[in-house]
Structure 1
Amino acid sequence: MKLQRRLIDLEKIKSLRINQNLTIDDMSKVLGYDGYNAYYYKENGKRKISAEEIAIIAKVLGVPIETLFFENKITDSVIKFKEVI
């Protein structure tokens, strides 16, 4: 059985956060960080977001967790492109 790899849509997370008037600092506090840097790096793709954090982010943003991932067709294309490079 092949595991399906799903990529987090960081732009969607950022857009949803901004549309709900939540700051990076707000999200940092919800995730238990002392400062805003840790969340900033995650939302900008410089650090990985854990499964637990994605679940918390989805809950705070009021969306199903699946909403925070790219569609499968896009994900498969990105993976294939990375394999070519």
Structure 2
Amino acid sequence: MRKVNLRKIKQLRKEAKFSLDEMAQLLGYESPNGYYYLEIGRGKFSAEALAKVADKFGVPIDELFFIQDVTEMAN
């Protein structure tokens, strides 16, 4: 199962020295809280938002995901 790699997104943002406010503006949020909730997993990234993030940081969209083994989740 593919899951959004929130740690990777945060890492990319910090490496690029982007603030939460700048990311919020990129994705059309009025305040940084909207973006912050995505980054901590309280909200879900849309496909369009993930495409914007990948484009902004110059990475393939696949790098924003990791594969979680379903059997691990059952344990």
Unmatched runs of 5 consecutive residues or more in structure 1: none
Note the C-alpha offset of 1:62: 1.2
Cα RMSD for the two superposed structures: 1.2
Q: After superposition, give the CA deviation of every residue in 1:18-41 in whole Å (9 maximum; x if it has no partner).
A: 000101110000001110111000
TM-score (norm 1): 0.81
Report the equivalent of 1:39: 35
Residue identity matched to 1:15: Q
Give the % identical residues: 43
* Count of equivalent residues: 75
Residue identity matched to 2:71: K
Pair 1:26 & 2:17 matched: no
Find the residue that maps to 2:71 and give its secondary structure.
Answer: helix
Unmatched runs of 5 consecutive residues or more in structure 2: none
The structure where strand makes up a greater share of residues is: 2
| Structure of greater relative contact order (alpha carbons < 8 Å, 6+ residues apart) | 2
Note the C-alpha offset of 1:69: 0.7
TM-score (norm 2): 0.91
Hey, which bits of structure 1, 4+ residues long, moved more than 3 A?
A: none
Based on CA coordinates, which of the two structures has the bigger radius of gyration? 1
Report the equivalent of 2:9: 13
